[in-house]
Structure 1
Amino acid sequence: MPLHLDMDKKRLYAILLTVFIFLSIIIVLLFMLYIIGNYQMFLDTTQLMLISFLSIFIVIHLVTGVMLFIVSLLQNTDMVQKRRRAVTIGIAIVFSFILFLGIRVLQTLIIF
């Protein structure tokens, strides 16, 4: 029975890692679209929509990252591999949180 649970953890880890990487790519693309559109010298509704999408995707990215972090700690692997995964995922979560805070500040500056 424990082998079956370990396989479920591996499958869950693989799914969460795929979603995490996919969201990372989407966030980078949306951020690049926002930066490219920022050279227009005026703020239109497309950029406001991009900022809203960015904040939504970053929140989903943060939740997925925390879930991935927890699942990676629950897997039965050696401590060195577990530590590397935890550090890598932790750094990604911190960067996502900083980007989320930056987007929220940008949204408040645009509104006022």
Structure 2
Amino acid sequence: MAIENLSSPNFALRSIKAYEQAQKGGATEGFEKAGSSDKTGKSRDGFANMLTDAMKEVDSLQKDADHKIEGMVLGKGVQTHEAMIALEKADIAFKLMNNIRMRITRAYEEVMRTQV
């Protein structure tokens, strides 16, 4: 399963729908179990690799926004709207990644509180 671009508008919608389905106990359509094997028997990327790739994508969006703002300020032909769009994409991706981090932390803490 390939990682979808975090700046895609459909990514957030599908993530929200999948989360709602998971809360209701339903299957998460389009999301496969992390670390599972495909039909050829080869192991796909695990959860840690998926998070690492997503963080790299967020970092890339932030660097792109920085370059566009720098280009706009220095008069290198970057339009204001291009810089603002890049900045908003980076901001949304960062907020999404931060939300994911907080949810993972809460889930870990809940598992650690579980009585055995």
Range of TM-score over shorter length: 0.3 to 0.5
TM-score with structure 2 length normalisation? 0.46
Structure with higher helix content: 1
RCO higher in structure (CA 8 A, sep ≥6): 1
TM-score with structure 1 length normalisation? 0.48
